[in-house]
């Protein structure tokens, strides 16, 4: 399991707490002009005009060894994503989960400072403006507090555990799901398909308190992790 990916999802969720969020979203304007394919954002905070894109490229390269053509395609997608976000007034925070954590925190801090400037000069109603400024200031404070506790990649494990705890808590508090089919038996290199992310291949498996964590690399270049019992009717072998 790539615990770094879980850790950064937990950190981002905590830092931006209080802001409206859209997760794993593709806005209508975020379409790669070279290919016509939609591009995804892991988090979009419309009120703040901030988007977050979490990557794990070096981890993928170490396992899969993509060729130069694949790397070039990935660079083109990321360049298009950044350009489109800028054109639509969205500040994109893009980072690799294997980067130096301090570099990532600096990027988040810079984006929040930018958002504060945008809000203070906007034409929002005074009351709404004040409320949003306070939320953004709180986000900056939380970011700096967490930054002080994450000095190196070794410090990320605690945050990864917190993310898994959050996932289980959300499951326990959610309404009982409709009857589902039997749990597929996922194995390494199995071809799978997801209704939102398309076809992919299982690249890693691990256990977490009796549940299976599946890492899938999709053909669109994304790599995602799932708890098996949450995707039993979505992540299907093909």
Supply the pLDDT for residue 208. Answer: 59
Distances 196 to 24, 47, 89, 199 between C-alpha atoms, Å = 9, 25, 26, 9
Whether the pLDDT of residue 230 is over 90: the answer is no
202-212: per-residue pLDDT in tens? Answer: 988 877 555 67
Q: What is the mean pLDDT of the chain?
A: 86
Is the pLDDT at 179 greater than 70, yes or no?
no
State the pLDDT confidence band at 59, using cuts at 50, 70 and 90.
very low
Alpha-helical regions (H) of the chain: 3-15, 57-64, 68-87, 101-120, 126-147, 157-173
Exposure b/e, 117-144, CB count within 10 A at least 16 = b: ebbeeeeeeeeeeeebeebbebbbebbe
Enter the tokens of residue 181: 């089919």
Query: Which of 52-61, 145-154, 166-175, 187-196 is the most confident on average?
Result: 145-154
Does the pLDDT value for residue 63 go beyond 80? no
Using pLDDT thresholds of 50, 70 and 90, give the confidence band for residue 66.
low
Query: Is the dihedral angle over the CA atoms 43, 48, 49, 52 positive or is it negative?
Result: negative
The region of weakest confidence among 46-50, 55-59, 85-89, 188-192 is 55-59
Determine the Cα–Cα distance for residues 218 and 205; give it in Å rounded to an integer.
15
Q: Check residue 180 and report its DSSP letter.
A: -
Whether pLDDT at 2 is above 90 = no
Q: Which among 191, 212, 220 is positioned nearest to 203, based on CA atoms?
A: 191
Q: With a cut of 80, say whether residue 146 has pLDDT above it.
A: yes
Indicate whether 35 pLDDT > 50: yes
- pLDDT number for residue 237: 86
50-55 β-sheet, strand order: 22-25, 41-45, 50-55, 91-96
Note whether 9 and 15 are within 8 A (CB): no
Q: Is the pLDDT of residue 228 over 90?
A: no
Using an 8 Å Cβ cutoff, are 11 and 231 in contact? no
Q: How many CA atoms lie within 13 A of 79 on its CB side?
A: 8
Residue 61 pLDDT greater than 50, yes or no = no
Per the listing, tokens 């810079």 go with 110
Residue 127 above 90 pLDDT?
Answer: yes
Mean pLDDT for 130-145 is: 97
Q: What's the average model confidence in pLDDT over 100-114?
A: 96
């Amino acid at each position: 399991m790539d615990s770094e990916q879980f850790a950064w999802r937990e950190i981002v969720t905590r830092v931006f707490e209080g802001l409206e969020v859209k997760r794993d979203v593709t806005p209508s304007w975020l379409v790669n002009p070279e290919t016509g394919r939609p591009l995804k954002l892991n988090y979009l905070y419309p009120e703040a005009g901030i988007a977050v894109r979490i990557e794990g490229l070096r981890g993928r390269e170490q396992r899969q060894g993509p060729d130069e053509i694949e790397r070039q395609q990935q660079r083109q997608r990321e360049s298009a994503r950044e350009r489109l976000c800028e054109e639509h007034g969205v500040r994109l925070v893009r980072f690799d989960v294997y980067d130096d954590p301090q570099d990532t925190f600096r990027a988040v801090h810079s984006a929040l400072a930018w958002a504060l400037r945008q809000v203070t000069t906007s034409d929002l109603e005074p009351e709404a403006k004040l409320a949003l400024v306070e939320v953004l200031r709180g986000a900056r404070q939380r970011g700096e507090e967490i930054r002080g506790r994450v000095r190196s990649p070794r410090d990320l494990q605690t945050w990864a555990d917190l993310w898994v705890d959050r996932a289980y808590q959300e499951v326990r508090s959610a309404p009982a799901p409709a009857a589902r089919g039997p749990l597929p038996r996922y194995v390494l290199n199995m071809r799978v398909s997801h209704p939102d992310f398309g076809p992919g291949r299982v690249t890693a498996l691990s256990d977490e308190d009796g549940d299976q964590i599946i890492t899938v690399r999709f053909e669109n270049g994304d790599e995602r992790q799932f708890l098996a019992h949450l995707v039993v009717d979505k992540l299907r072998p093909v």
